[in-house]
Every structure is written in structure tokens, then in C-alpha cells.
Amino acid sequence: MGLLLGSGNTKPQYPYDQWYGVQGDFNSQDYKLKRVGNLDLHRTLPIQAKLKRFVENPDGSVKYYLNQNDSRKKDSGATALIDSTDGNVMLEKPEYYFKLEIEGTKWIRAYSEYPLPGFIKMERKTVSPWYATVDITNSVAVSGCWLTWNGDEIARDSDGFVILKANAAQFRGGSGAGDAAKDGTYNSMLGMPRTSISKAGVRPLCKNGTHHGAYRVYNEIAWLQRVEYASLHCQDAYTETLTADGFHQGGLGSGPVVNGTEWNTWGSYKPFVPCGVTATLGNNTGKVSYTIKGWTGGDKVVQVTSYRGLETPYEYLWMLADDVLIWHADVSIAYVCEDPTKFTSHSDSATTVPIGYEAITELPRTEGYVLSMAHSTKGYSFAEKVGGSSNKGYCDYYWTPTGGSTWSAVGWYGALLSALASHGANAGFGFLNAHYRSSYATAHIGFRLCRF
């Protein structure tokens, strides 16, 4: 079988000039990928350009799109209401068509706006652009932003504390009611992501067709970023400057990096970036400076990244993925469920596969930087081999409990994505923590609201 659609040509012939993608090699340690397909599409990036924030109706349909350059405005330019009371703020991942092809050690991931031969349709999916929180009054998971602004700067009082909307107490993050005593202080959890809650705890809060099975949409967005930058190293230095050929280069840089010990002192590892800090970027990729008050040694300034509307895509909080379970025994296997009604935490010691979960691939038995990933025809990807580094292979880390000679805790585990603000080079789109059971909950684990 030849490689996909004449991909060796700089300009494939019609109709095969309607796709673009990247080529990699399972045996290569180079994180840089080869751009293939129509190179003009690598410049215009038509699929990535359709990632956009919007406010949804209760049934998930679009109430109105938000402005390309400022999420505080509607697409029309009128003022938007993004505190969730007008509807959840969501990020739309558009539908497109995808094909995976493997020949020998080389693989190609190809993308098109059109149903080309052999391509499969990747359905529209929506996800909260930032970590979600909980409407305490109505016991429902929501996505919104409760910041107020002075021009393009976040409004603050005379003590430097963030000034939030009057209804922010209804949307307390962290541990929820357990953090009420912090309201009005430097480490207030008002308007912050909700954490300290397990997958099973989030599930009943997801109403009106929402869920928190974020792996599938997160993985798709991750690959759109890798195609855009032709790189597996998402933490590579960020630059807005294009190459001489008009392509994006580098990566997204680091997230809002902090020292773990100092984070613990400040707020016991609870969230420190309010939801929606990057509203002023709209759907554009970029970084926003945010000042944390009360940090060890004085004010702490962090850089908050957004990739085409996806705020803090990695290196902030661990992210729950209710659509993935990990089986650890004599082998380790990643399972994915595509039906939110069948999402489950499963019994840790169960010996049967839960209904609706499909085995995707075996995972490495030792932890380390991911060197290569297994790819599925549906676009899923999971760590296949470790042995990379912070600048080799996929440049992100895989954690598993199975590496020790005394390990014996056979059974079902959950999946945590993204990595923490204190994890440094370990973090990234390809990070996977398969070390903890599904019931695990702690101060630095959050979730994203999904609908698909």
C-alpha cells in the first residue's frame, strides 16, 4: 500500500489537494514532523480556524458565537454574558474528515474539510474552554467566567484582589462549600475551577446532556495543534513569528508554572487561575499575564496559555477523563467509551470489562517520557513506548504504577490528563497519569464540561 494520497508530492493533484496533515516515524526520536498534503492548507489551517467559543442553549445548540478577538463580546460586537447565566460558555471543535495511514515505520494523520475516499467523519464536539465549576445553588456543572474588567485588565480592589461579578458566590470552585471561609481573601475560590471531586462525584452534576468525558475532544484538539506546528513538542518555545514559508513554528511554551511547595503553602494545591482569564484573547492563540496575590515571597505572575480558545491546555491542573479506563494486570490496556450514558468508575477489582468500553491499545509497563504512541483509525492515540525525553519523541510523561517489582494492585484505574503547574517538562497534550484509581479526588484535579 502506498502512502496516503500521493503525500510525497508538494502539490497533490485534484481532488487530493483538499487535505493536509503530518507524517512521523515510529522509530524516530525527533519531535518535529513533516508537513504533507496541500501546503497551502498548512498556511490557512481551515479546520483549526473553526475552533471557536460560543454560548450554548440548554440543549447544546449555539445561542451566539463569541467575538473572534474578545470573548467578552458576541460575534456581532455586542456585549456577551459569559457568567453561565445566559448559557454555558463552550469551545466548538468542528466536524472534519480524518484518515490514518501506516506503512512500515511511518505514519500519516491526514485532515480534510471534505469526505475524501477513505476518510472518516469526525463529528462536531464541544468542550468548556476552561476548567468547569459548579453552580452551588442548582447543583449543576457549568462553564463560565465571573471576572470583571478595567479595559482589558482584570479589575482588582485596593488590596489587589480580583473583583468578581456579584453572583460569583454561587460559583465557588476548589472544594465548594468547604472553601467558603476563603471568600474575599487572596486565595479565594470564587470563580475558580471546581476540584477535590471524583469522576463519580462530577457525573450527577452534568445535566442536560453534558458530561466530563474529555479525552476524545482533548485528543483531537491536541492533534490539531501538532499539525499546526508540525511538532510533537507542545511546550517548545512560543513565538507568533511564522517561518519564511508562512508556517507556524515552535510550540505553545509552558503553562502557568509554579513551585509545588509554594503552591501548597498558598492554597494547598487548589486552583489559582480564575476561569476565563484569557477571555481577552478570544479564539486566538496566545498568553495572558495573571498576578496571584499572597504567594510566597510576594506577588506571583504566571503566563496563562490559550490554544485557539482552549485555556490552560496543559500544565495547570490534572484533568479527569470519564471516557477512559485503564486496566492494569499482567498487561496494561487503555479502554475508551463513546457513550456518555455508559461512563462508569467500575469496581477497582472487577474482572470484567464495563459495558461500552472498547480496548484501544496496550500501554507501557514502566513510566517515562513517551517515545512513541499507538494510533487508532478513529484518531485515538496513547503511549506505546517510553524512552523519550523532554525534547525527544512526544516530550510528555506517562505515569503508571506497574513499574515496581512489588506492584500487585491489579484492577481498574482512571486516567488523568494535562499535568500540573508544578510538573514542568513532564506536562503536555500527551501526558497521561494512569497511576490512580477512578475514585481518586484531590485539590489539583479538575474537569471540563463536554457535550457530544
For 97-129, what is each residue's pLDDT tens digit? 999 999 999 999 999 999 999 999 999 999 999
Alpha carbon separation from 198 to 11, 34, 66, 193, 224 (Å, rounded)? 49, 40, 31, 14, 29
Q: Give pLDDT tens digits for 316-335.
A: 999 999 999 999 999 999 99
pLDDT at 6 over 80: no
Q: What is the pLDDT of residue 14?
A: 44
- State mean pLDDT over 294-316: 97
pLDDT at 234 over 60: yes
Instruction: Extract the runs of DSSP E, i.e. beta strands, from 94-148.
Output: 96-103, 106-112, 120-122, 125-127, 133-135, 140-142
- Split at pLDDT 50, 70, 90, the class of 15 is low
What's the rounded Cα separation, in Å, for the pair 21 and 223?
10
Q: What is the pLDDT of residue 406?
A: 75
- State mean pLDDT over 160-179: 96
Q: What is the pLDDT of residue 408?
A: 87
Degrees to nearest 5, angle at CA 387 with 385 and 389 = 125
Q: What is the pLDDT of residue 330?
A: 93
- CA 108 remoteness from chain centre: 22
Q: What is the pLDDT of residue 405?
A: 72
What's the rounded Cα separation, in Å, for the pair 344 and 200?
7
pLDDT at 214 over 90: yes
What's the rounded Cα separation, in Å, for the pair 5 and 12?
8
Can you read off the three cell numbers belonging to residue 419?
499535568
**Neighbouring residues of 57: CB distance < 8 A, sequence distance ≥ 6:** 63, 87
- State mean pLDDT over 42-69: 98
Residue type, 382: F
Q: Which helix (H) or strand (E) holds 262?
A: helix 260-267
Cβ burial 126-149 (10 Å sphere, 16+ → b, else e) = bbbbbbbbbbeeeebbbbbbbbbe
Q: Is 66 helix (H, G, I), strand (E, B) or coil?
A: strand
- State mean pLDDT over 180-200: 97
% of the chain beyond a pLDDT of 90: 95
Q: What is the pLDDT of residue 4?
A: 40
Residue type, 195: T
What's the rounded Cα separation, in Å, for the pair 275 and 192?
6
**Neighbouring residues of 28: CB distance < 8 A, sequence distance ≥ 6:** none
Q: Give pLDDT tens digits for 347-380.
A: 999 999 999 999 999 999 999 999 999 999 999 9
C-alpha dihedral over 268, 273, 276, 281, to 10 degrees?
Answer: -160
Q: Give pLDDT tens digits for 376-422.
A: 999 999 999 999 999 999 999 999 999 877 788 999 999 999 999 99
What's the rounded Cα separation, in Å, for the pair 147 and 83?
8
What's the rounded Cα separation, in Å, for the pair 426 and 10?
35
Q: What is the pLDDT of residue 219?
A: 98
Q: Pairing mode, if any, of strands 34-37 and 310-311?
A: unpaired
pLDDT averaged over every residue in the chain? 95
- Alpha-carbon torsion (425, 91, 375, 227), positive or negative: negative
Q: What is the DSSP string of 370-415?
A: EEEEEE-TTS-EEEEEE--BTTBTT--EEE-GGGSTT----EEE--
Residue with cell 491526514: 110
What's the rounded Cα separation, in Å, for the pair 153 and 365?
47
- Split at pLDDT 50, 70, 90, the class of 16 is low
What's the rounded Cα separation, in Å, for the pair 254 and 206?
30
pLDDT at 7 over 60: no
What's the rounded Cα separation, in Å, for the pair 283 and 238?
17
- Split at pLDDT 50, 70, 90, the class of 5 is very low
327 has which bridge partners? 333, 412
Q: Is 132 helix (H, G, I), strand (E, B) or coil?
A: coil
- State mean pLDDT over 286-315: 97
pTM of this prediction?
A: 0.96
What's the rounded Cα separation, in Å, for the pair 417 and 234?
14
- Split at pLDDT 50, 70, 90, the class of 70 is very high
- Split at pLDDT 50, 70, 90, the class of 35 is very high
**Closest of 7, 220, 231 to residue 101, by C-alpha:** 7
